[in-house]
Structure 1
């Protein structure tokens, strides 16, 4: 009948210490930026604001904006391939609940393992969940970015302020600038 029991946490098949650090870009001038929105409330607006700031302050170019079909599912192969072709760096967000934080971290690790520096934005209320997902994916030290919870209830002006607060850490996560 059944030949094995599946562990829903994924811990039974955890990769052993597989680091995921892609090489940081020396500069964002002319860098192609991809924005991956996970459908959470205000994620698209926050990422758009960060993309505009990366363009105006660092000379980056937002080349692709995509939205995942489901916030809790990992980035699928066609979208991963498309973003690998179109981007030098990726900004992923927003992890504003448990499953979307876990998924955002998993996506960031996937991009990093494909050689694309990724900045993953999660709200601080779900740091434990995000860290657990990094561990499940074999990269307990994966560096995701934290923002105060919640992001979903912010108005557009507050989102713009939050984007400005996150800009320097996003830039430092994907490049040598600002380090």
Structure 2
């Protein structure tokens, strides 16, 4: 009989210390700077911009800063993550709509949390298992991330807006803000 299988981190980050402590949540989002981390997947930027518009309308969030990582299948580089954490109050990263990009999007959120910045990772609901596996490998098995209905990449502007509105209760909950 075989034993449990060991999960391997395809990003090479599994040697980092396990830490499942969330960054402190702000009492609200009014006037706060929202970081938007684009993982370069189709429709990531429109989805992030719509989520920011919803955060402004629902919770009074301030301006946003858009960042783009090098490659969707790997977590963002340490220097980019540190820059984001230094410039933003909260971060939304998206969009995980395949296996490797979902895992990397979740890793980005966890790494930002460990830098002290509240973060929401948005993955499509078809890849929740991939995101959950990465959270476990990163030593943060209970990390909550938001699930948008799949697909995201092939949607038009109106459909992206609908996806952003639909995911907002989870985004607000993860950020600790009443909706």
Unaligned ranges ≥5, structure 2? 1-5
SS in 1 for 2:81: helix
- 1:103 matches 2:104: yes
Q: Which residue of 2 aligns with 1:114?
A: 115
* Larger radius of gyration between Structure 1 and Structure 2: 1
- Counterpart Cα distance in 2 of 1:161 and 1:18: 34
Q: Which residue of 2 aligns with 1:20?
A: 21
1 CA distance for matches of 2:58 and 2:128? 29
Q: Normalising to structure 1: TM-score of the pair?
A: 0.88
Alignment coverage as a number of residue pairs = 172
Q: List per-residue Cα deviations over 1:32-82 (Å, max 9, x = no partner).
A: 100001111111000001111211232111331011111011111221121
Q: Displacement of 1:14 after TM fit?
A: 5.8
Greater shift, 64-73 or 51-60, is seen at 51-60
CA contact (8 A) 1:15 1:136 kept: no
Show the counterpart of 1:174: 175
CA distance in 2, matches of 1:145, 1:137: 17
State the 4+ residue runs in structure 1 displaced beyond 4 angstroms. 11-17
Q: Which residue of 2 is the match for residue 135 of structure 1? A: 136
- TM-score, L = length of structure 2: 0.88
For residue 61 of structure 1, give the secondary structure of its aligned residue in structure 2.
coil
Gaps of 5+ in 1: 1-6
SS in 2 for 1:82: helix
Tell me, in whole angstroms, the C-alpha distance in 1 between the residues paired with 2:63 and 2:97.
23
